[in-house]
Amino acid sequence: MTNKGKNTIWRWWAKALGEKASKCDNESDRIALIRTIIFITYLITNAFIVAGVIRHWNDEQTINLYYLKQPHEIQSPVSETEEKANLY
């Protein structure tokens, strides 16, 4: 890629990040670089959030329900499906 092509792509990217920060091109380039770093950190953070959601999408959790059969006597754990079966 030619130097002119790189400058054009950088100019498009800098404009996509927002308006020009100052009249000085050097300062505007630095600010565009900072905005790029912020954008990349947002992108990485969102990727981790989405990966975590996908990883735990259909996790089955066993919920143990304890109930008192008589006062001060704790019954052994009963799974949620057994509890539902006892209700019917």
Dihedral of CA 36/42/48/54: which sign? negative
pLDDT tens-digit series, residues 38-56: 999 999 999 999 999 998 8
pTM score, whole prediction: 0.57
pLDDT tens-digit series, residues 6-45: 788 888 888 888 888 888 888 888 999 999 999 999 999 9
Confidence check: pLDDT of 1 > 70:
no
Give the pLDDT score at 80.
60
Dihedral of CA 35/36/39/40: which sign? negative
